[in-house]
Amino acid sequence: MSEGASELSYEIREIVKKAEQLKKLGMEISWENIGDPIQKHHKLPQWIKDIIADLMKQDDTYSYCPSKGMLETREFLAKQTNALGGVQITADDICFFNGLGDAISKVYQFISRTSRVIGPSPAYSTHSSAEAAHAAHEPITYKLDPNNKWYPDVDDLYNKVKYNPNIVGILIINPDNPTGMVYPLETLKQIVEIAREFKLFLIADEIYINITYNGARAYSLSEIIGDVPGISMKGISKEMPWPGSRCGWMEYYNRGQDKDFNNFCQALDNAKMIEVCSTKLPQVAIPKILGDARFKPYRELINQRIGRRSKIIADILHTVPQLTFNETFGAFYNTIIFRDGTLRPNQFLHIENSKTKALVESWVNKPDGKPLESIQMDKRFVYYLLAAKGVCVVPISSFCSELQGFRVTLLEEEEEVLIKTFTAIRDGIVEYLASN
């Protein structure tokens, strides 16, 4: 096994193994762990399904496609980016992948082992794990500050870059998973300036770029990057949403500005060529769906609904004094932090069912009943919440963070269920913190 292999972990799905054990004991689980709108009962409108069904009736959708992806689709996407008025690209600057997950696992692979890409903390673990695995070292991160609306701490980023000559790139995730923060324009400009000063390249994961609400607007990398080299990553898993399509793409900006960067983009294209190509059907569907006049109003409506849920969740949780709670403005997650000193190793939630109680205690305590020291305190809370209230959330310590808290999703479409779930979370927190 390679040295980097131990850096791979994905708590967003690991927690499911625990929840499945409880499900076997008869528990009903509310899945707040994963950002899959379809799993949370979102239904694509009929007109989108009709477009996809019609494409499936055409013989040529069953073949391979060009390695970088369908030319017509890449031309369509290049035009969309160019219309923003920033950096200009052609179809040749776009390469398709089997979901952004595939793109993320490749983008760090072709950077030399000692060169590092600094990313936000809390970190979306697909990025931080892949980057750490390439370097066989723990991730290097800059702080998102929960006491300042989760905005990036630009001084922290500047200093880390300045004092670590191995850093060759900066990752931004905008809007952010797991915090739901949208990078302010000024901050983005400052990050571009840091990249320019230290001759770095930028990676922007923009899978949520069109998912903003309650008055926010996310600025794309293409709009603010100027002549700095960079890669934007986009996809349809969240926006359409069609996560099962496994379809995402990279857009390369300013390839001509730097020979190394240009070679790097070429290596990414070549890696896809070795695999032959990515999934074709969703690529063919993209211009037909995103280019349809019905798409924008449909997306706006879903965004409004997420915004409304964001406010409902804020109403329920922001009153708990032991929490640091920030309202969200993009993507569909929120990260809620326990204030320092509020979590302690011997807290618990009352669990009626003796089998369930024994199971959760086997996860959080040693055989002698004393708390397991190796388990993070937010994970302990998350396990109790799961076992006592049936709500599955993800501990924030699993997102490369020293903070203690948890991530929830804003995806529950039924308002009554949403209110019930978040009231259960709040009651769980209050009861847990008062238990010891």
**DSSP code of residue 325:** -
Tell me the H-state helices in 276-399: 281-290, 295-317, 354-364, 377-389
- State which residue, 39 or 166, has the beta carbon closest to ligand PLP: 39
Q: Binding residue for ligand PLP (CB under 6 A) from 128, 212, 237, 326? A: 237
- State which residue, 103 or 377, has the beta carbon closest to ligand PLP: 103
Task: Identify residues 313-342 at the interface with ligand PLP (CB under 6 A).
Answer: none
Task: Identify residues 244-273 at the interface with ligand PLP (CB under 6 A).
Answer: 248
How many CA atoms does the CB half-sphere of 16 hold within 13 Å? 8
The residue with its CB nearest to ligand PLP is 99
| CA gap 250, 232 in Å, rounded | 6
Task: Identify residues 156-175 at the interface with ligand PLP (CB under 6 A).
Answer: 173
Task: Identify residues 383-422 at the interface with ligand PLP (CB under 6 A).
Answer: none
Specify whether the CB–CB gap between 176 and 150 falls below 8 A.
yes
| Residue 209 Cβ vs ligand PLP, minimum distance, rounded to whole Å | 10
Query: DSSP 3-state assignment of 132?
Result: helix
Structure tokens at 378: 């937010």
| Residue 206 Cβ vs ligand PLP, minimum distance, rounded to whole Å | 9
| CA gap 400, 345 in Å, rounded | 20
- State which residue, 213 or 432, has the beta carbon closest to ligand PLP: 213
| Residue 105 Cβ vs ligand PLP, minimum distance, rounded to whole Å | 9
Report if residue 243 touches ligand PLP, rule: CB under 6 A: yes
**DSSP per-residue string spanning 42-64:** ----HHHHHHHHHHHTSGGGGS-
| CA gap 167, 154 in Å, rounded | 15
Number of residues that bind ligand PLP (CB under 6 A): 14
Neighbours of 249 (CB within 10 A): 23
Task: Identify residues 60-119 at the interface with ligand PLP (CB under 6 A).
Answer: 99-101
| Residue 177 Cβ vs ligand PLP, minimum distance, rounded to whole Å | 4
Residues that bind ligand PLP (CB under 6 A): 35, 99-101, 124, 126, 173, 177, 205, 207, 235, 237, 243, 248
